[in-house]
Amino acid sequence: MLLLRLLAQYPVRCGKRYIRRLGSVPFQDDLDPLEDEAFGLEDFKHYEPTEQTRKQLKNIETAVSASDSVQEHVQPSGHRDLEAISKIRSPLAVVSKLSNPFLNLAIEDYIYNNMPFKNTQDKKATFNRLMFYVNSPCVVIGKNQNPWKEVNLPLLTSLRIPLVRRKSGGGTVVHDNGNVNFSFMTSKHQFDRFTFANVVVDSVNADKDSSAVKLKVNERGDIVTDVDSLKVSGSAYKVSKGKSYHHGTMLLNSRLDILGQLLHRDEEKLGVVDAMNSISSVKSKVANIGLSNETFIEIVTKGFGNMVTRDEELLENPKGPAESKKEVSEEEPSEIDSFNEMFNLSDFAQSSSTPVSTLSIPTFVIDSNVTLPQSIIDEAESLKKWGWIYGNTPKFAHTLTNEKFKFSIKFNVDKNAVIEGFELAFPEDDTGILSKEKIQSSFEYLDQVIQQGKDQAVGERLKYTGSGVAGFIINDMISDWIGESIDGTS
């Protein structure tokens, strides 16, 4: 078959644990020495792995060396290969070893858009996809959220951590090397907030080789710890074009202290944001579950295979799995079986101890050897643009108060994150170190620029950035304060 000849070129792994180097420290390369002491990050920056961790690293590197030598002889996959495999009409798992958050979101979107529609006359239950990726440190907001309200932007700027806006809803999450992102893709009519959450929970709870925290799914569809109901996964959903996906984070060994600081805003310092048209995050206490990234990917992929097998056996033979097995033995080998046989993966296609068999899901690994289609590169570049990350914010108001100068300023920010205007307010007792007149005169140039911009195209109007606004305020002390309060630039 043409499909199988194409698949022969792919670096594929199935049913084994994915090895990556351990001991890397989230945010380590992003820390600003000037801010270490202020934010209590000094010890974190100079973290050193324990002796036990070093031994584990050495053992893992030795164990993986043989696998690496084999991969050196695998022909790099081209973009046509990725395009072809994303369209196969059978369940598929994808593991991205890339760490760029913009690329990973673009790849996720590409796989979703290329996933075949289910033919209602096809006996197969689904052409479901499951994707995993681990991003370098970043903060990810939902499609309809306000970054000035959800994130400590000055701290983000100081640590040089990128802000990312995804194309699905939901709340704000922090990604680092101790967090694995998963994305379950299926048809629109099979969309359910609970289905894959239960697969994840059952997979983790059934893993006998780990000491992971036991989990459950609450009434909102969130994955939480069984005893204390601490949240371990943030989820978001998308339904479009007859398809749907549930993607989420899984806190395995994340730096929860850093996570908390990045999402904490001190309104006395950073101001009050009235984001009347935006979706606010639901604040929850969180916890790590303690699994390694590789173990989580392996056991959830196995759970995905079990789910697909159960669905297909029930559709093909409602009488029960025993009859289903009898029918399968009389048929031609399935596409999955042929796939496994071609790559000598049959040993990994283990049967469950339960009456329902376990399907060995083929897994496509995306690494630096895979040439990505230009559409993925273009999408990643689009996700990086200021107009998407910040400009997609619905209109809002941001009020800053300065106790030293005894005044407050309210910025009215229109759609596309351009400044519509501002209002100054002073207390009745003018006791600040600058007079009311001096303060007002400091903003005259800014007001002129804003008013002139109203006759210009959106792209030419003044954007709501700290450095952009501060540059038109003539008093240096006030200028620095406003720039720092908006986003940490001035």
Asked whether the predicted pLDDT for residue 394 surpasses 70, the reply is yes
Give the range among 2-11, 311-320, 384-393 with minimum mean pLDDT: 2-11
pLDDT category at 461 given cuts 50, 70, 90 is very high
Asked whether the predicted pLDDT for residue 352 surpasses 80, the reply is no
Asked whether the predicted pLDDT for residue 473 surpasses 90, the reply is yes
Q: What is the pLDDT of residue 278?
A: 86
DSSP H/E element including 245: strand 243-251
Hunting for tokens 């050495």 — which residue is that? Answer: 58
If DSSP states are collapsed to H, E and C, what string results for 397-419?
EEEEEECCCCEEEEEEECHHHEE
Quote the percentage of the chain above a pLDDT of 70: 71
Asked whether the predicted pLDDT for residue 294 surpasses 80, the reply is yes
- In sequence order, the β-bridge partners of residue 398 are 273, 411
Asked whether the predicted pLDDT for residue 337 surpasses 90, the reply is no
Q: What are the extents of the domains in the chain?
A: 2-385, 395-487
Q: What is the pLDDT of residue 188?
A: 86
More confident residue, 174 or 61: 174
Tell me how crowded residue 359 is: count the other CB atoms within 10 A of its CB.
27
Q: What is the DSSP letter of 306?
A: H
Sign of the alpha-carbon torsion through 193, 197, 199, 202: negative
d(CA 425, CA 163): 32
Q: What is the pLDDT of residue 441?
A: 97
Question: Taking a C-beta distance cutoff of 8 angstroms, is the pair 431, 445 a contact?
Answer: no
Could you tell me the maximum CA-CA distance found in the chain, to the nearest angstrom?
A: 91
Q: What is the pLDDT of residue 447?
A: 97
Give the range among 87-96, 372-381, 480-489 with minimum mean pLDDT: 87-96
Q: Which of 154-163, 199-208, 232-241, 328-337 has the highest mean pLDDT?
A: 154-163
The domain covering 2-385 belongs, at the CATH homologous superfamily level, to Bira Bifunctional Protein; Domain 2 (3.30.930.10)
Question: Taking a C-beta distance cutoff of 8 angstroms, is the pair 486, 469 a contact?
Answer: yes
d(CA 221, CA 236): 11
Retrieve residue 378's tokens: 């273009």
422 phi, psi to nearest 5 deg: -150, 160
Angle between helices 195-206 and 293-316 in degrees, nearest 10: 120
Query: What pTM was estimated for this model as a whole?
Result: 0.75
For residue 402, give Cα distances in angstroms to 56, 140, 395: 52, 30, 23
Question: What are the tens digits of pLDDT across the range 9-58?
Answer: 444 444 433 333 334 434 434 444 444 444 444 444 444 445 554 544 44
What is the mean predicted confidence (pLDDT) over 261-269? 96
Question: What are the tens digits of pLDDT across the range 119-151?
Answer: 655 555 568 999 999 999 999 999 999 999 999
DSSP H/E element including 130: strand 129-133
Question: What are the tens digits of pLDDT across the range 172-205?
Answer: 999 999 999 999 999 888 888 899 999 999 999 9
Question: Taking a C-beta distance cutoff of 8 angstroms, is the pair 197, 178 a contact?
Answer: no
Q: What is the pLDDT of residue 120?
A: 53
Asked whether the predicted pLDDT for residue 82 surpasses 90, the reply is no
For residue 387, give Cα distances in angstroms to 88, 391, 412: 35, 4, 18
Q: What is the DSSP letter of 228?
A: T
Question: Taking a C-beta distance cutoff of 8 angstroms, is the pair 385, 378 a contact?
Answer: no
Q: What is the pLDDT of residue 26?
A: 41
Q: What is the pLDDT of residue 323?
A: 45
Q: What is the pLDDT of residue 428?
A: 84
- In sequence order, the β-bridge partners of residue 412 are 397, 421
For residue 167, give every residue at least 6 positions away whose Cβ sits within 8 Å of its Cβ, in sequence order, or none: 105, 109, 143, 238
For residue 361, give every residue at least 6 positions away whose Cβ sits within 8 Å of its Cβ, in sequence order, or none: 14, 91, 92, 93, 130, 301, 304, 305, 308, 336
Work out the angle at residue 487's Cα, subtended by the Cα atoms of residues 279 and 34, and round it to the nearest 5 degrees. Answer: 130
pLDDT category at 478 given cuts 50, 70, 90 is very high
What is the mean predicted confidence (pLDDT) over 274-297? 91
What is the mean predicted confidence (pLDDT) over 243-247? 91
Q: What is the pLDDT of residue 279?
A: 85
Specify the 3-state DSSP secondary structure of 263: coil
CA 333 to chain centre: 37
Q: What is the pLDDT of residue 458?
A: 85
d(CA 151, CA 163): 9
Q: What is the mean pLDDT of the chain?
A: 79
Q: What is the pLDDT of residue 317?
A: 54
